[in-house]
Amino acid sequence: MQCPHCKNILEEQRNPIPTVDIIIEIEERIVLIKRRNPPYGWALPGGFVDYGESFENAARREAEEETGLQVVNLRQFHTYSDPGRDARFHTASTVFIGQASGVPRAADDAAEAELFQQDDLPELAFDHAKILQDYYTFKKSESTWRPA
């Protein structure tokens, strides 16, 4: 049975929804998916963290569900929490970087999955252009870079 105080907190609190995004590196390229559901467009693989699931496991799960790829060397990059990053509701996304091999194949929420180089990125949904700008800056100077 849930305590009355906890019930009130759950009913009254509006908190950001936790999500994950993952930058999957394959050689010198990254994997992007074309979203099957609104908001449409190209994006990093990712999604909602399930209750009782770690953010790391959510990132691995979303990567495999949307691209069919097994991610290794997973490491946390940065959390993006601007209230306007998702027009549907306030999300806070913890972004991970990992590596994979093989060819991505679209599944689940992804209509397409493709590899892109930095100089051929499509227009991106959400704040993923900012995330990738930070990522490429980080890759150039890993030892000194700090996100804003």
Catalytic residues: 112
Q: Are 115 and 101 in contact (CB under 8 A)?
A: no
Element of type H or E holding 138? helix 128-140
Backbone conformation region of residue 47, classed left if phi is above 0, alpha if psi is from -120 to 50, else beta: left
When computed from its CA atoms, the radius of gyration of the chain, rounded to whole angstroms, is: 16
CA 75 from centroid of its chain's CA atoms: 12
Count CA within 13 A, CB hemisphere, residue 6. Answer: 3
Query: Between vectors from CA 19 to CA 114 and to CA 25, what angle results, nearest 5°?
Result: 30
- Residue 46: which of 143, 139, 146, 131 has the closest Cα? 131
